[in-house]
Amino acid sequence: MSRIAAVTEKARQEGNKLLIPYLVAGDPGLLETVKLMHALVANGADVIELGIPFSDPASDGPIIQRGVERSLARGTTLVDSLEVVREFRQIDQATPIVLMGYLNPIEIMGYEIFIQNATKAGVDGVLVVDMPPAESTELHGQLQAAGIDTIYLVSPTTNADRAAFIAEYSSGYLYYISLKGVTGAALTDYESVRKNIEALRKLTDLPIVIGFGIKDGTSARAMAELSDGVVIGSALVAKIAKLAASEGISEEQISFTIAIIKEARKEINKIV
């Protein structure tokens, strides 16, 4: 059983919701990212989505764009991002890590080398934002063969037939985008999310997590009530932004930065 399957299965059995923070590898620095990842786990993260920085993040809103720019300004590469995973795995062998990013860095590294390196580093899942299933055949097959979960997105604009196909094609979990827009946009229409998740439930047994626009404990709880878990990205990256200029970070800074995740865990755990 993959690490993701183990974690999601355990959560299902225990009736817990998944909490999945997203942060950009190398923001504010590579060592800091590793430290933050451990702290996120200690404060309730079940899975970590690690963003691979790319110069042209066309699906991301301004907060994550700036995080990516900060990371790239320090020269972070895909090799470095994988190094972050490897470093994290020295201490934590249990928490699944999903790489999230855009295709070009992977394409330029070459699929085979990427998968070899990702496997060695301890990556559990890959979500390529600008690679829909129809364009994924080669990379998808190679990832599956290597035992790495392939996670795809479903959005409010995805019709039922396509959603069924995507669910069938995905492994690990299904990532539902809560709104029409980019990461960090304002999520207001809870009712349409509820309806769409209900419809998705009929199509798949995969765990469904909701992301985009979840910005605090309250929205985390509301979305987790409708699904199997939530992804929190921009709200965390906005806090990380305040660390950018500092050399090394203290325990106190870390605890302040990830307070949003701690808060989300607390709220989500209130769901019975």
Partner 1 sequence: MSEVKAMAFDGPDDSGHFGPYGGIFVGETLIAAVAKLEEVYKELSGNEEFWRQFDKELKYYVGRPSPLYFAERLTTHCGGAQIYLKREDLNHTGAHKVNNTIGQALLAKHMDKTRIIAETGAGQHGVASATVAARLGLECHVYMGAEDIVRQAPNVYRMKLLGANVVSVDSGSRTLKDAMNEALRDWATNVDNTYYIIGTVAGPHPYPKLVRDFQCVIGREAREQSLEQIGRLPDALVACVGGGSNAIGLFYPFLKDECVSMYGVEAAGHGLDTNEHAAPLNAGIPGVLHGNRTYLMTDDTGQIMETHSISAGLDYPGVGPEHAWLKDINRVKYVAATDSEALDAFHKLTLLEGIIPALESSHAIAYGMQLAADMDVSHRIIINLSGRGDKDIETIATVEGIEL
Q: Which is nearer to partner 1, 39 or 78 (CB)?
A: 78
Task: Work out whether 135 is an interface residue with partner 1 (CB under 8 A).
Answer: yes
Pick from 7, 37, 63, 78: which binds partner 1 (CB under 8 A)? 78
| C-alpha to C-alpha distance for 224 and 229, rounded to whole angstroms | 5
Three-state DSSP class for residue 48? strand
Kindly determine how many residues on this chain lie close enough to bind partner 1 according to the rule CB under 8 A: 44
Pick from 38, 42, 59, 259: which binds partner 1 (CB under 8 A)? 59
Q: Is 42 exposed, middle or buried (0-12, 13-18, 19+ CB in 10 A)?
A: middle
Helix (H) or strand (E) holding 89: helix 78-91
Backbone angles phi, psi at 127, to 5 degrees: -125, 110
The answer to whether 124 is a known catalytic residue is: no
Annotated catalytic residue within 27, 60, 149, 267: 60
Three-state DSSP class for residue 20? strand
Which residues between 161 and 200 bind partner 1 (CB under 8 A)?
A: 162, 166, 177, 180-182, 185
| C-alpha to C-alpha distance for 170 and 172, rounded to whole angstroms | 7
The first and second tokens of residue 115, run together, are 């998968």
The answer to whether 80 is a known catalytic residue is: no
What is the x/- site pattern for partner 1, positions 38-57, by CB under 8 A?
Answer: ----------------xxxx
Q: How many alpha carbons lie under 13 Å from residue 106 in its C-beta half-sphere?
A: 27
Q: Which is nearer to partner 1, 40 or 128 (CB)?
A: 128
Residues in touch with partner 1 (CB under 8 A) = 54-62, 65, 69, 72, 77-79, 102-109, 129-132, 134-135, 152-159, 162, 166, 177, 180-182, 185
Query: What residues are annotated to the active site?
Result: 49, 60
